[in-house]
Chains A and B, each alone.
Chain A
Amino acid sequence: MNRYTISALVSNKSGVLTRVAALFARRGYNIESLSVCKTEREDLSRMTIVLKGDDYILGQMIKQMDKLIDVKKIRCVEEDAVSRELLLVKVKTDSETRSQVLEISQIFRANVVDASPEATILELTGKPTKLDGFVTMLMPYGVMELARTGVTAISRGKTTINDETDYKEQI
């Protein structure tokens, strides 16, 4: 079982997320995260999907997604691509534990975005593994709530997703 990151440019209209999610569900693809955002073009959104599977599943998922009319460009992002995720975590803190939590935050270079007598909210951006490590370190203090955006990624160098050819234009 490998982990792959896939980027796709899709039409920015309602129903597209449903189409993609429904495709994953009916074909039985195992999705770890999915994030959607705006792009430099108003008519396009970008989806970043983290898939768990093998080469066969990866190939099928890209091809099946490429068949959707609303999917314009799709590529599997290289392993060394820049990929980041944002974490917001609310940790239980009191006068005794606060300094310890802040110390851990410093190691991970997380920011304090909110503090109250019983809780501190921390913000951290990085690779998913880094976020995992941070959360593990905070667990003993009591993670009250956490939110992660899912991975977003972009290829290194001058190549872009726009270099891909839409399958629908090849036939």
Chain B
Amino acid sequence: MKLMGAEILIECLKEQGVKTVFGYPGGTVLDIYDALYRDGSIEHVITSHEQGAAHAADGWARVAGKTGVVIATSGPGATNLVTGIATAYMDSVPLVAITGNVGANFLGRDSFQEIDIFGITLPITKHNYIVKDVNELADVVREAFYLAGSGRKGPVLIDILKNVQSEKAEYTPLSPATYRPKPIPEASVLAAAEAIKASKRPLIMAGGGVIAAGATEELIALAQKLDAPVVSTLMGLGGFPASHPLFMGMMGMHGTATAAKLCLESDCIVAVGTRFSDRVALNRDKFAADKTVVQIDIDNAELNKNVFVTHAVLGDVKEGLRTLTPLLAACKRDFSAHAQQLRAEERAKEKQPELGHRVLIEAAKLAPKDAIVVTDVGQHQMWTAQYFPIEHPRTFCTSGGLGTMGYGLGAAIGAAKASKKHVILVTGDGCFNMNLNELSTAVTHDLPITILLMNNHALGMVRQWQKLFYKSRFAQTDVKKRTDYVKFAESFGAKGLFIEREEDVVPVLKEALSTPTPTLVDCRIGNDENVLPMIKPGQTYDTIMTEWEVKE
């Protein structure tokens, strides 16, 4: 049948099973919005700003485990997506971003709201398209979804000229191409298996690839068979249950002291779906120089990119583990008993938590078991990673690679939409101020989001670095905003609460977490509550700081 380009787009979205999209209308997507309106079967969530929509589609995708969709108009609409697309790109989140552009007649003439979003998003997408011919549209949309959700996942952008949206073409429905990761032959893991078998102190390092591949079950099987402790990157949290006795917490710049010690002591690291980022490996040359390293990753370019490994296995993590684990012998190891003892000792040494930490520890106890945790970026993000145990994959959203301040609220909206579960957003006053306009979106949709605003009147993480590396010259990090966040929340139609003292924590959290609509808790914490442990950038794991060493 002959359909308009905009209608073909909607039909193709339906082919892919899309039921929810995020976006913001505008001049060059009028036809798309009209087609959405006439079709009526796809729910559209309008945000306050396109950036919020992009983060929402990202949060939706991380929680749903499917490709998120965001729509924006040309020019500023498209450029406002950029940070959201880049965030998804750095964290390998499948996203299809659809933008309108001016008609062919106006293209290349610096027309109103014309921008080269194809060129702009070239380095931050897995692939992108500019559609100038309506006959190509359907196949482009299908390919975009396939690319976003296959291999190493990532964002794909489709820029559709305005005239293409109203021109007609023949449309034939097609069921979506399914991606099945290729099985990994035994031959390609044999050497790795031998190396692991020969090791005495194997340590499993789990990254975001475990979650992307849905390989939690396989990872647990590997850890139990090897009796090997598991440490996780920030992106890997939830990929291995936090309550599992073999779980030793997060590793890296703000990882646990146990994780750091185990990294130093182990003679073999099994790195699963991780790229040894600088926040994890820190000193890439020394990180694993003296050990056997097995790396399984779906991205060929990540193998041997940051850390040279002794055994690289290319392919899907789930498939890799399925082939690898049966080749290993089950055993019990002193190393895992040692690891558990280290972790218990570290826990016992933990001091009386400061207020911000306390809020997170109690929130973790009081939160519904199936709650989704979303963070912004900075100190509160690290505290959450350290003190909020994440049990299941796809229940934790955080901007790891790009470190996008302002990611949280949009992502929380997407997470709530995807899961229909209670969402806890942990944010800071710096991050929250970047995209707080989206509180209205959460309110409009009555989403069950509890916002724990770690309000320290500071850009805490940057301040911490100034304290450490710039002799406490706090340039522009002491925030003097006089915002009353309780009133702010109320003015947007949300509930506003606050925590000022220890005794407020439990009752206020109880009230907030039992409220099924947007609730903001202004947690008024001190400005010198810092993140420890810490390994300074570029340093080795033995230099881990567990006590604050700088005198004010």
Contact = CB atoms under 8 A, between A and B. Distances in A.
A161 B315 CA distance: 23
A60 B301 contact: yes
A26 B119 CA distance: 13
Contact of A170 (B122, B301, B303, B314): B314
Contact of B119 (A18, A170, A171): A18
B127 interface: yes
A15 B118 contact: yes
A67 B305 contact: no
Contacts of B300: 63, 66-67, 167, 170
Given A18-B119, A170-B182, A64 B301 contact: yes
A18 B123 CA distance: 11
B108 to A, nearest CB: 13
Interface string A144-171: 0000000000000000000000011011
A104 B410 CA distance: 70
Contacts of B118: 15
Nearest to B181: A171
Contacts of B305: 60
Contacts, number: 38
A69 B126 contact: yes
Nearest to B119: A18
A22 interface: yes
A63 B301 contact: yes
Looking at A18, A23, A66, A69, the one whose CB has the most chain B CB atoms below 10 A away is A69
Nearest to A67: B301
B314 A69 contact: no
Given A60-B301, A63-B300, A171-B316, A22 B182 contact: no
Contact of A18 (B122, B182, B303, B315): B122
Interface in B149-193: 151, 181-182
Interface in B284-332: 298-301, 303-305, 314-316
B405 interface: no
A164 B183 CA distance: 20
Interface string A119-143: 0000000000000000000000000
Contacts of A26: 123
A168 B151 contact: yes
A170 to B, nearest CB: 7
Question: In terms of DSSP, what is the predominant structure of the interface of chain A?
Answer: helix
B233 to A, nearest CB: 21
Contacts of A171: 151, 181-182, 298, 314-316
Interface in A43-98: 59-60, 63-64, 66-69
Contacts of A22: 122-123
Interface in B121-136: 122-123, 126-127, 130
B347 to A, nearest CB: 40
B130 to A, nearest CB: 8
Nearest to B315: A171
A116 B189 CA distance: 68
Contacts of A68: 127
B147 interface: yes
A15 B130 CA distance: 10
Nearest to A61: B301
Nearest to A59: B304
A63 B152 CA distance: 13
A66 B314 CA distance: 14
A76 to B, nearest CB: 15
B353 to A, nearest CB: 42
Given A170-B314, A171-B314, A19 B182 contact: no
Nearest to A14: B130
8 contacts: A59-B304, A60-B305, A63-B300, A67-B300, A69-B127, A69-B147, A167-B300, A170-B314
Given A18-B122, A19-B122, 11 more contacts: A18-B119, A22-B122, A60-B305, A63-B300, A67-B301, A69-B127, A167-B300, A168-B151, A170-B314, A171-B298, A171-B316
